[in-house]
Amino acid sequence: MPALINERKLLVQPLGLVDYETALAIQKKTELAVKTGIQSDTLLLLEHPHTLTIGRRGDSSSILLDPEQLKARNVTLFETNRGGKVTYHGLGQVVGYPIINLSPDREDVHRYVRDLEEVMIRVAADFGLRAGRVDGFSGTWIGDRKIGAVGVRISRWITSHGVAMNVSTDLDYFDLIVPCGIADKEVTSLARELGRSVDHLTVENVFIRHFSDVFGRSAVEEMAARPAAQPA
């Protein structure tokens, strides 16, 4: 049997641009490694090409284009086992997939979701923005504008999936869906709120720092290639 890894360590793996199907495979492999104790709790950081995902509480009625129209826009569609409804992933987001063991001291699903929201609230605060929560909805909000989505899966207290925070995202792609299943909800980004460009790597590093603080982990980064995201 391999020696158990110190639970307070967090392996950070910045993966760059990764298609959604590949990211699912990476999560599955990492989940097994964390579950068996051969790898520390891990935070995967990445971006996806244009992708719509349908969570366990969602359905295709919140997608406003048919499959052929999505294909023409170079948008892929996945049904997935995360919580939540329909969301968009694309360039200019910091996507964080924590694969961590919540046992034995953090076995609380609601606390976990609130903690993920807290990470994004703190990231926004570092850029001078006051973010918070909206009653009845998950995610992180600036007023009634959603800046970060949360959709997770927890199996035997090992987490997967996670958050997507809009940094410099092309928000027009959210017009392809009904965000949160509610037509009158808006989506925003750090760049839109600040009225200027925002360095993606800087936001990733701020995210790592706040994730480590909120979850009580000591981050150790495993350097990996960060392929530059290209405009659509």
pLDDT range class, residue 184, cuts 50, 70, 90? low
3 domain-assigned = no
Which of 164, 150, 157, 151 minimizes the C-alpha distance to 204?
164
Determine which helix (DSSP H) or strand (DSSP E) holds 100, and give its type and residue range.
Answer: none
- pLDDT surpassing 80 at residue 232: no
Assigned domain for 227 exists: no
**CATH number of the domain that 103 lies in?**
3.30.930.10
The answer to whether 140 is a known catalytic residue is: no
C-alpha to C-alpha distance for 225 and 219, rounded to whole angstroms: 18
Domain extent, residue 14, equals 9-221
Place of tokens 């940094």: 167
- Span 106-119, pLDDT tens digits: 999 999 999 999 99
Q: Which residues of 72-94 are buried (b: 16+ CB within 10 A; e: fewer)?
A: eeebbbeebebbbbbbbbbbbbb
Residues 6+ apart with CB under 8 A from 90: 47, 48, 49, 50, 51, 169, 170, 173, 232
- Residue 2: inside a domain: no
What's the domain count of the chain?
1
> What is the rounded average pLDDT of the residues 18-37?
96
Tell me: pLDDT of 15 over 80. yes
Catalytic position from the list 94, 131, 180, 187: 180
Residue 184 lies in a domain: yes
